[in-house]
Amino acid sequence: MTTTTEPREGYARALIELGHQHDDVFVLDADCAKSNYTNRFRDEFPDRFFNMGIAECDIVGTAAGMAALGKVPFANAYANFLTGRGYDQVRISVAYSGRNVKIVGHNAGTSAAQEGATHLPLEDIGLMRAIPDMTVIVPADSCEMEKAVRAAYEFDGPVYLRVGKLKVPDVTTADTPFEIGKAIRFREGSDVTLISTGNMLFETLKAAEILAEKGVSAEVLHMHTVKPIDSEAIAESARKTGAVVTVEEHSILNGLGSAVAETLCEKYPVPLRRVGTKDVFGLSGTMDELMDYFGLRAEPIAATALEAIQAK
């Protein structure tokens, strides 16, 4: 039986662990500490937690100032507002200025569905990916989230970390490797390559099983780092299978699908199909309803893989 866990649980655990190990870790939040689970860090380290109110631009600017003083700030807010309203500050005060700030977008993807359509970010990865020198990490589950938080701290430079709110299936384990910029091969295959990011790894692995029942051998790559993308792993797999499908809980514009398309065009062109949202805004509903509505399930992924194979 598959267990499910909230990614924000892993985020909170790793953040508290870092707080005990390093006194330069500071946390800022946009009056969402209870929802983001940063209240747990606040309770452990009240002198290193700052509630900045619903003021995303101010959060980022303050975090940049802390970084200039040698601190390692984690700036937390809902992903759509932090990357949207705070974009200029992230771009100039953090990235352009070379500040070691960790931008943490919560309530990301369809996990924000119950908050309403305006709160549902399907463009945040694209916005952050476009900023020079920004590293973009999208973990698959709670366990990988813990590793990502620790890796983000160790990484010297700006990082965008995407954190989902609701429970998702646990796919990775403590033994699953994690290195920024390095894909993980979860399944070997010869007919088509399925490349996922974030919590879509679970549905992608299910799609590979559906394809196996049809006699199709699917390779599965998990791309927890969307930027820098592991272009070598993508090209190597494309040479082997001759067709690629990307899977993301995000717009196919400027997200994982775009990053893989750019890589294939430059290194090894093969038929590519992209599963994700298609240039649309989010909707209100439940996470499960939106996953179904946007076609982010194993069956549509498998069907798209067959299309890619046919295009060889």
pLDDT bucket at 76, cuts 50 / 70 / 90: very high
pLDDT tens, position by position, 102-141: 999 999 999 888 888 888 899 999 999 999 999 999 999 9
Reported as type and span, the H/E element at residue 171 is none
Neighbours of 285 (CB within 10 A): 17
Neighbours of 138 (CB within 10 A): 33
Rounded to two decimals, the pTM is 0.97
Neighbours of 156 (CB within 10 A): 9
> What are the structure tokens assigned to 138, written together?
């999208």
Domains contained in the chain, CATH given: 4-169 (3.40.50.970), 184-310 (3.40.50.920)
Cα dihedral 137, 284, 278, 88, rounded to 10, equals -50
Q: CB-hemisphere CA count at 13 Å for 104?
A: 32
**Which positions are annotated as active-site residues?**
56
pLDDT bucket at 219, cuts 50 / 70 / 90: very high
The rounded mean pLDDT for the chain is: 97
Residue 1 pLDDT more than 80? Answer: no
Residue appearing with tokens 């990988």: 144
Bridge partners (DSSP) of residue 221 are: 185, 195
Q: What is the pLDDT of residue 239?
A: 98
